[in-house]
Amino acid sequence: MIEKQLVSEQLIIKSLNTDYGIEIIAFKSLPIGADMNAAIYKAQSIDHKSYFVKLKRGHHLDICIAILDLLQNSGISQIISPVKTLQNQSIQRLDDYTLIVYPFIEGQDGFSCDLTDNQWFELGKTLKKIHEIDVPMSIQKQLRREDYSPKWREVVRSFYTVFESVSAVDEIALKFLQFVKSKLSTIRSIVDNADKFCQNLLDQSPELVLCHSDIHGGNVLITQNSNIYIVDWDDPIMAPKERDLMFVGGGVANVWNKPQDIKSFYSGYGASEINSTLIAYYRFERIVQDIAVYSQMLLLTDEGGDERSTMYKQFTDMFDTHGVIDIAFETAL
């Protein structure tokens, strides 16, 4: 989470009042999301309305707003549009950060509850519509494009020697080191497989479509009346459709890995030729990125407080039977 001394809650509350015209009577931090450059809050106004408040380091959310507007104009109702400021803006600059405010919608995410067959069907149908959107060139120029970067593989490989030589900064780091050493051969194989499948893709030119890029269970909200919303559009990308499809059946957080769920999703998504090499590449590459990020957070710093234990568990859970790693290797067969 963003360090509280850098952006005080009082400053955020003041902005909600002066920039949005929202008078706050209750404000609390929400311990959700894995983005270390973001903080999430729930705010309640004097007129008993609730708001989902996101503070993000930097000023890079303009493309998020452009995509949300595009989706809304394309008839995609499974998104949540931001609350406008008094100046009719969708984001508000706050020192070195960006503030974005949404209506707070009560519900659970796909990590916390199972989607019904009908919800899986709706998710598949919605994602197909998103992938079929004709993205204007003015927006495409602002979007990342898939380049199959070796960045995260190089980061993990740079840790091979670190794992053997670094001193643990705390008890969690020590447990992390011990666990990593016991799984080092598996980690090397994961990185090598990501490389292998990447090399197999270099001569291919798959169609690039608008992708969410992180559409796992934590970014699908299921409301109390069973509606679904796709949230967290902070990092969209023009990429092969498999960039999103790899999450269905991929087992992130050990969910979304049941055959019936996958079947119901593709009933909604419709007939489509799926590139198995891309699916395998993206599943391995996602794990590589997670290994890199967890290694950086747990070995190179002692920041994170109580969340460090949660991070350690999230990391070790990847190695569970039929977890994301097992599924990635099964995809590679």
Structure confidence by residue, pLDDT tens digits, 116-129? 999 999 999 999 99
User: In this structure, are residues 148 and 202 in contact, taking their beta carbons and an 8 Å threshold?
Assistant: yes
Is the pLDDT higher at 94 or at 50? 50
What's the chain's average pLDDT?
93
| pLDDT, tens digit, 9 for 90 and up, residues 147-165 | 999 999 999 999 999 998 8
Task: Report pLDDT digits (tens) over 260-282.
Answer: 999 999 999 999 999 999 999 99
Given a contact cutoff of 8 angstroms between Cβ atoms, the answer to whether 121 and 262 are in contact is no
40 and 144 share one domain: no
Q: Is the pLDDT of residue 3 over 60?
A: no
Average pLDDT over residues 13-32: 94
Could you say which of 77, 104, 131 is where a domain stops? 104
Q: pTM of the prediction?
A: 0.92
* Domain total in the chain: 2
Residue 32 shares a structural domain with residue 98: yes
Confidence of residue 134 (pLDDT cuts 50, 70, 90): very high
CATH at residue 130:
1.10.510.10
CB atoms within 10 A of CB 276: 12
- The mean pLDDT value for 26-50 works out to 88
Q: What is the mean pLDDT of residues 279-298?
A: 97
Does residue 132 form part of some domain?
yes
Which residues face 103 on adjacent strands? 51
| 31-54 mean pLDDT | 88
Question: What are 210-268's pLDDT values in tens digits?
Answer: 999 999 999 999 998 999 999 999 899 999 999 999 999 999 999 999 999 999 999 99
> 27: which 2 tokens?
């404000």
Domain CATH number, residue 93: 3.30.200.20
Per the domain annotation, does 111 fall within a domain?
no
The answer, yes or no, to whether residue 1 has pLDDT greater than 60, is: no
- Does residue 184 have a pLDDT over 70? yes
Q: What percent of the chain has pLDDT over 70?
A: 97
178 plus 292 within the same structural domain = yes
Residues 32 and 12: their CA atoms lie apart, in Å, by: 18
Regarding whether 313 and 290 lie in a shared domain, the answer is: yes
Task: Check whether 302 has a pLDDT greater than 90.
Answer: no
Query: Is pLDDT at 310 greater than 70 in this prediction?
Result: yes
3-class secondary structure per residue, the chain = CCCCCCCCHHHHHHHHHHHHCCCEEEEEECCCCCCCCEEEEEEEECCCCEEEEEEEECCCCHHHHHHHHHHHHCCCCCCCCCCCCCCCCCCEEECCEEEEEEECCCEEECCCCCCCHHHHHHHHHHHHHHHCCCCCHHHHCCCEECCCCCHHHHHHHHHHHHHHHCCCCCHHHHHHHHHHHHCHHHHHHHHHHHHHHHHHHCCCCCCCEEECCCCCHHHEEEECCCCEEECCCCCCEEECCHHHHCCCCCCHHHCCCCHHHHHHHHHHHCCCCCCHHHHHHHHHHHHHHHHHHHHHHHHCCCCCCCHHHHHHHHHHHCCCCCCHHHHHHHHHC
pLDDT at residue 5, as a whole number: 44
One domain, residues 272 and 196:
yes
34 confidence band (pLDDT: 50, 70, 90): low
How would residue 4 be classed by pLDDT, with cut points 50, 70 and 90? very low
Asked if residue 37 has pLDDT above 90, the reply is: no
| More confident position, 262 or 62 | 262
Mean pLDDT of all residues in 96-113:
94
Q: Which residue type occupies 34?
A: A
Q: Is the pLDDT of residue 208 over 80?
A: yes
- For residue 6, the model assigns a pLDDT of 59
Q: Which domain holds residue 52?
A: 9-104
Nearest-5° Cα angle at 127, 122 to 132: 130
The answer to whether 43 and 106 have CB atoms below 8 angstroms apart is no
Q: Establish if 110 belongs to a structural domain.
A: no
User: Same structural domain for residues 219 and 136?
Assistant: yes
Q: Is the pLDDT of residue 46 over 50?
A: yes
Share of the chain above pLDDT 90, in %: 85
* The last residue of a domain, from among 40, 74, 104: 104
